[in-house]
Amino acid sequence: MATRELSRRPKKKTIRTIPQQRTPMREQPAEVRARNFDEVSLGYSEEEAFLEAERCLVCPDQPCVAGCPVNVNIPGFIQMICARDVRGAHTVLTSTNLLPAVCGRVCPQESQCEGVCTVGESLDPVAIGRLERWVGDAAIAQGWTSVPFIEPRPFRIGIIGSGPAGMACAADVAKAGCEVVVYEALHEPGGVLRYGIPDFRLPNDVVDAEIHSLEALGVQFECNTLVGRLFTLEQMLDEMGIDAVFVGTGAGYPAMLGIPGDSLNGVLSANELLTRCNLMRARAFPEYDTPLPLGRRVTVVGAGNTAMDAMRVCLRLGAESVACVYRRSRIECPARAEELHHAEQEGVTFHWLANPVAVLDDGAGGVSALRCVRMALGEPDTSGRRRPVPVPGSEHDIETDLVVFAIGTNANPIIGQTSPLRLTARGYIDVDADLHTSMAGVFAGGDIVTGAATVIEAMGAGRRAARSMKRYLGLRDASAPVSAASGTGEGRLFGLPASERNFVRVRR
Ligand code: FAD
Ligand code: SF4
């Protein structure tokens, strides 16, 4: 081979030649941001993104891709950034992930792609989430949408719920040419992205941009429409001319502990608190007519993402002190590492290994304190985590004006109660491997099937359901690559029969 050609080849990167430090992301100082709702993390600049992209080794075995629940082509999009082709990076990302600006902000990367990144074996892993966010934000800023050529089909699809599962399913069936209507119970679309995750983590502008790109595909949104009360699933199929339905109603029904005092004034579920603040704009009271009196001291029970959001919202709403009570230790804390770190920086007090046993009355129907017992960690339970056991005689009171329960949620029940759908013992919708429910033409996915999970898993389910729905309707799935090894023989080109050539892409 000519020496000149050899010298033109890019040098192979190794762990020694890449930038050794993970590029930090700028953020608002803790003492400033704890009192405003502006976004905490400020994102990468162009130079920072290019620098961080150089840290990817483009590993042949791609462990990060396997670590992503929807198998985003991570080295593929990062290589595009290295080549300064940001639009190309966006195309690679959105071929599997509809919402890069959202997922780059909220996915638990440390336990997914970044948790298995090869660079992480010796240095800090490649900041995959931050790069994904940077590409997603560039697309929003530039107004890039990938609207393909859509050939209209004579099918009408109803999607119930506008969270990430419903959005992902809607996008795929709209691209297949179906008329798609998304029915949403609340007055704004987006599901938890809108009513649950606060602006300082996921600004509403980002959610709006993603909704607009769905509208650009022809998807219609009908808000203020509680399916099961205004009309039923059966009416959708029998009377409203809908050919197939996707149920993505989530798991937003709050769980309470069932301890004495948990129905006092001054006890809320985290979902109620967050919905009032984010969707009903309580933070702009009295401009918006949603009062949300917190008192001076707030205690939140639980330590997942929802608990972190609730605590940080209370700080921003003006609470003087905010405490977290969790029955396990910091190591078992289920929230994303970044959220826990940010909550600690902002001044939340953590009571690890403490379990509430009663909410105490202030004598006027309100709350005066949360009574807790100390816990010790015993043998591992079925989840593999050490089981917390109460320490006898360790009862103590944490003085507080408001108690917020963030201890998990259950299936939103209305569709289950108003249709013949088969449910699991815990009230979630029962589906087969294709996400088909017990009713013909009705598919389901996301939290309403799995229980509370993650945004990316809900989106993955929405896309899988869309594929099954297309099969059910007899639509060709032009996005499914066909292996060239699928056969040879007379009339076949690249292993494909002549009749299929117009409909499939060949994976080379
Ligand atoms: P949802 O997002 O819950 O959407 C369901 C939608 O259906 C809702 O809009 C609801 O109003 C609507 N609906 C319900 N019933 C009806 C009906 N009968 N008719 C019409 N509409 C109906 N995941 C992460 O990956 N990272 C995070 O950082 C993170 N933080 C979170 C913070 C909070 C506060 C919460 C609550 C969850 C968080 N999650 C996070 C989890 C993630 O948001 C969910 O797993 C995901 O949103 C589930 O998507 P979904 O589409 O299944 O349901
Ligand atoms: Fe790049 Fe890390 Fe994925 Fe390897 S594992 S391809 S270094 S992001």
Question: What is the identity of the amino acid at 307?
Answer: A
**Closest atom, ligand 1, to C-alpha of 192:** 2
Select from 75, 107, 142 the last residue of a domain.
Answer: 142
111 and 179 in a single domain? The answer is no
Q: Is residue 4 part of a domain?
A: no
pLDDT band at 507 (very low <50, low <70, confident <90, very high): very low
Q: What is the pLDDT of residue 440?
A: 93
Helix (H, G, I), strand (E, B) or coil at 369: strand
Give the Cα separation of 93 and 410 in Å (integer): 32
Give the Cα separation of 117 and 56 in Å (integer): 9
CA distances from 502 to 173, 177, 229 (A): 19, 16, 44
Mutate to test the pocket of ligand 2, among 126, 130, 132, 135 (most ligand atoms within 8 A of CB): 126
Select from 142, 175, 193 the last residue of a domain.
Answer: 142
**Closest atom, ligand 1, to C-alpha of 166:** 51
Question: What percent of the chain is modeled with pLDDT above 70?
Answer: 91
Helix (H, G, I), strand (E, B) or coil at 205: helix
Count CB atoms within 10 A of the CB of residue 331. 9
Q: Is residue 128 part of a domain?
A: yes
Mutate to test the pocket of ligand 2, among 22, 58, 59 (most ligand atoms within 8 A of CB): 59
Q: How many domains does the chain have?
A: 3
**Closest atom, ligand 1, to C-alpha of 198:** 34
CB-ligand 2 contact for 62 (6 Å cutoff): yes
Contact status, residue 18 vs residue 119, Cβ threshold 8 Å: yes
DSSP one-letter code for 27: B
Helix (H, G, I), strand (E, B) or coil at 194: helix
Q: What is the pLDDT of residue 498?
A: 57
How is residue 358 written in tokens? 């009663």
Q: State the sign of the Cα–Cα–Cα–Cα dihedral 333, 334, 338, 342.
A: negative
pLDDT band at 463 (very low <50, low <70, confident <90, very high): very high
Mutate to test the pocket of ligand 2, among 77, 117, 122 (most ligand atoms within 8 A of CB): 117
Distance in Å, CA 111 to ligand 2 centroid: 14
417 and 397 in a single domain? The answer is no
Give the Cα separation of 391 and 359 in Å (integer): 19
Q: Is residue 16 part of a domain?
A: yes
* Whole-angstrom Cα Rg for the chain: 25
307 and 423 in a single domain? The answer is no
Distance in Å, CA 106 to ligand 2 centroid: 20
Distance in Å, CA 191 to ligand 1 centroid: 5
Residue 161, domain extent: 156-252+411-473
316 and 291 in a single domain? The answer is yes
Question: What percent of the chain is modeled with pLDDT above 90?
Answer: 71
pTM listed for this prediction: 0.88
Task: Supply φ then ψ for residue 90, to 5 degrees.
Answer: -65, -40
How is residue 390 written in tokens? 């109460």
Averaged pLDDT, 114-118: 96
CB-ligand 2 contact for 64 (6 Å cutoff): yes
CA dihedral of residues 274, 250, 337, 387 (deg, nearest 10): 100
Give the Cα separation of 459 and 235 in Å (integer): 26
227 and 350 in a single domain? The answer is no
Q: Which of 15, 205, 201, 22 is nearest to 110 (CA)?
A: 22
Q: How high is the mean pLDDT of the chain?
A: 89
Q: What is the pLDDT of residue 419?
A: 93
Q: Is residue 74 part of a domain?
A: yes
**Closest atom, ligand 2, to C-alpha of 65:** 3
Helix (H, G, I), strand (E, B) or coil at 389: strand
Contact status, residue 180 vs residue 218, Cβ threshold 8 Å: yes
Degrees (nearest 5) of the Cα angle 233, 238, 244? 60
152 preceded by cis ω (within 30°)? no
Mutate to test the pocket of ligand 2, among 22, 71, 74, 110 (most ligand atoms within 8 A of CB): 74
